[in-house]
Amino acid sequence: MKKLSFLIILFLASVVAVQAQHPAPKNVVKPDPQALAQIKAGKAYLVDVRTPEEFDGGHLQYSQNINFNGPDFKTQIAKLDKNKPVYLYCRSGNRSGKAADTLKTLGFHSYYNIGGFEQLKADGFPAEQLQTSASRK
């Protein structure tokens, strides 16, 4: 019995340790149904903050790629109209959460971390066809 209790405690401790290494994304909000209509109409931005390689592997329709880890992220994102809503996504929601913090410091009025690419696709956001290296040439 002591051995079983020890194994359960050890298992729970390892689960907690793994969760601490991969923090949950910050302030992820599910986009309302009107968000896609706003984006399609050009009244809002949909920004994929993943790397260009990730973006080329597949992305949401109507999105533009501004790499959060790129050296010119702040310069590129600052070119957007600060009065239009900005919907940010990445792979999991972590980078887009950090990008949202940057938009706040740059004076944007309406910005949303809508989470990760795969979950957004599963929720019904339309995705662009995956590109192959041959089709990019």
pLDDT of amino acid 32: 86
- For the chain, the structural domain boundaries read 24-122
pLDDT of amino acid 19: 43
Query: Domain 24-122 is of which CATH architecture?
Result: 3-Layer(aba) Sandwich (3.40)
pTM for this entry: 0.77
- Residue 88 host element (H or E): strand 86-90
Residue 67 structure tokens? 């790499």
Yes or no: say if 115 and 91 are a contact pair by the CB < 8 Å rule: no
Q: What are phi and psi of 93, to 5 degrees?
A: 110, -10
Q: Which of 108, 123, 131, 129 is nearest to 36 (CA)?
A: 123
The tens-digit pLDDT sequence of the chain (137 residues) is 666 554 455 444 554 444 444 454 557 888 888 999 999 999 999 999 999 999 999 999 999 999 999 999 999 999 999 999 999 999 999 999 999 999 999 999 999 999 999 999 999 999 997 665 544 44
Q: Provide the 10 A C-beta neighbour count for residue 49.
A: 28
Q: What are phi and psi of 79, to 5 degrees?
A: -75, -15
pLDDT of amino acid 135: 47
